[in-house]
Amino acid sequence: MVSALGKFHDYIFQGFKYKLFVPKTYKAKKDTPLVVMLHGCGQDPDDFAEGTKMNALAEQENFLVLYPNMNHRFNPSDPAGYNPFGCWNWFLDKNQHRGQGHPKLIYEIIEEVKRGYHIDANQVFAAGLSAGGSLACILGVTYPDVFSAIGICSGLAYDAANVFFLTDPMAEDAKKSMEKGVPDPYVCGNNAFAEMGEFKKKMRVIVFHGICDTTVHPINGQQVITQWAQTNFLVEGGKGNVEVTPSKINAGVIDGKSYTQHIYSDASSEPLLELWMVDKMGHVWSGGGPSGSYTDPSGPNASELMWRFFTNNPQLQEEKITSKQDERISLEGTLNVHVETSRNVPVELVQLSDPVLAEPFVQIQAQPPFDQPILSSDYLPIPSADHPPVKQQVLSSELLPNEIHVSASEHPVISPDDSDDITPIHTEEQSSVHMPIPSSTDNKESKTSIESSIQPVNQSPDKPKKKIFFTILSKFTKIKR
């Protein structure tokens, strides 16, 4: 099929369909970057291409885009390779190892593409949404020698679930991780390091997650960062558990959505990981096209930001990333706070009040890890591929003043009682606050199949608050073996 941009080719490999976008700017004798895009449940390559607008970006930046398609017929000899809703089966053990299942399939498809096109082996990247995001994470672990960087939108950490259908036919282990996160992301990081084996190397990873995501709880986005921070730490020769502390935090508004960007560096101060938490956003691709499913046209453009992160291209100016004013709040160097705790994954929260209503405030408070349920399954809607997209509340970036610089030492700390947007949680160890997660309409109908638990769903926004808030979540830990 010929598009207005370039050519979108259809191929079949061992019974799996895939599509390859080749931009008009492609030169046959010049090595070109390749981005592997892994769709979510209920999607296909055409839909995912429309929703992410990745082909248009590929035309502009001159790279190829590969879209493996999980939608295919059931093969009795390979049940782990089939899902009735076209979801990548990230939760099965066979699909979490090199030379097996989905990772092997995608690696072999990439090799087939390399035989037909000149691909720059040092610029092969993978990105995905939901189940596709979880598989992208797995690819970074199983084939670190193939991929230079990974993008994960609304996905889970490596080894977040390990389902064996004979003992867990309803995949409760996968649903539990989606709803509550994993018990210990450091274990996931250790397992990822072990899986890398002789191919181990530090991986650059960028993560996007909507704060209002009730399909894959936002804690999973943070746990992906902790997992990769631990994995990279072990690759560097570290011992024990790494302290996960952002080296830089930016906050602002892009196209009506407030966000926080956390940047994490390695021991040599090289930025390796980024976490983008987007307010008022559910289980969607941020800044996507309106014609695709499971996207939100507002907010940071995940596709462009991922590409900039993948290539670290200084020529991709910030004005290309945003179609509207991006008002940043710089928090560099203000949040490197060490927290002594017997728990594994303390979280720090920074809250900024509406700059229109008052001077900005900063709140820094340690919080125990989310080892207890944060969002009851009673509040989780049963996902459905037919769930209509909901237009989300748009916040005007014009309300923000120019270049507000905030330091934790320059502004008073507010208590939980001063804000309508933070809810105290009391534990035996300490009192703290957690990220507000708006609940959907109560739905106590039990989930009766794995398919219903892994389909993506658009989430409706919470009702507008009295104050605009930015919620910044980052994990700080100082662990002794």
Calpha distance 383→87 (Å, rounded)? 13
Calpha distance 49→66 (Å, rounded)? 10
Overall residue count recorded for the chain in this entry: 481
Name 21's bridge partners: 8, 65
User: Residue 77 carries which side chain, given as an amino acid letter?
Assistant: S
Query: Does the 7-330 domain belong in CATH 3.40.50.1820?
Result: yes
CB 93 within 8 A of CB 155: no
Tokens 């209002």, residue? 212
3-state secondary structure 68-108: ECCCCCCCCCCHHHCCCCCCCCCCEHHHHCCCCHHHHHHHH
Name 150's bridge partners: 126, 205
Q: What sign does the CA torsion over 194, 199, 205, 207 have? A: negative
Calpha distance 291→130 (Å, rounded)? 19
Residue 169: its pLDDT value, please? Answer: 82
Calpha distance 244→237 (Å, rounded)? 16
List the one residue out of 338, 431, 439, 429 whose CA is nearest residue 381.
439
Helix or strand run (H / E) with residue 149: strand 149-153
* Helix, strand, or coil (residue 289): coil
Query: How far, rounded to the nearest angstrom, does the alpha carbon of residue 82 sit from its chain's CA centroid?
Result: 24
Name 7's bridge partners: 2, 22
List the one residue out of 295, 252, 385 whose CA is nearest residue 54.
295
**Structure tokens that stand for 475 in this block:** 């994990």
List the one residue out of 55, 71, 79 whose CA is nearest residue 4.
55
What is this structure's pTM? 0.69
pLDDT tens, per residue, the chain with 481 residues: 434 679 999 999 998 999 999 999 999 889 999 999 999 999 999 999 999 999 999 999 999 999 999 988 888 888 888 898 899 999 999 999 999 999 999 999 999 999 999 999 999 999 999 999 999 999 999 999 999 999 999 999 999 999 987 888 888 999 999 999 999 999 999 999 999 999 999 999 999 999 999 999 999 999 999 999 999 999 999 999 999 999 999 999 999 999 999 999 998 899 999 999 999 999 999 999 999 999 999 999 999 999 999 998 434 444 444 444 444 444 443 333 222 222 233 333 233 222 222 222 222 232 333 222 222 222 223 333 333 333 333 333 332 223 323 333 333 332 333 333 323 323 333 333 233 333 333 333 333 333 333 343 344 344 333 333 333 333 333 333 3
* Helix, strand, or coil (residue 57): helix
Calpha distance 26→55 (Å, rounded)? 13
Calpha distance 263→327 (Å, rounded)? 17
Residue 253: its pLDDT value, please? Answer: 97
Tokens 């995912």, residue? 48
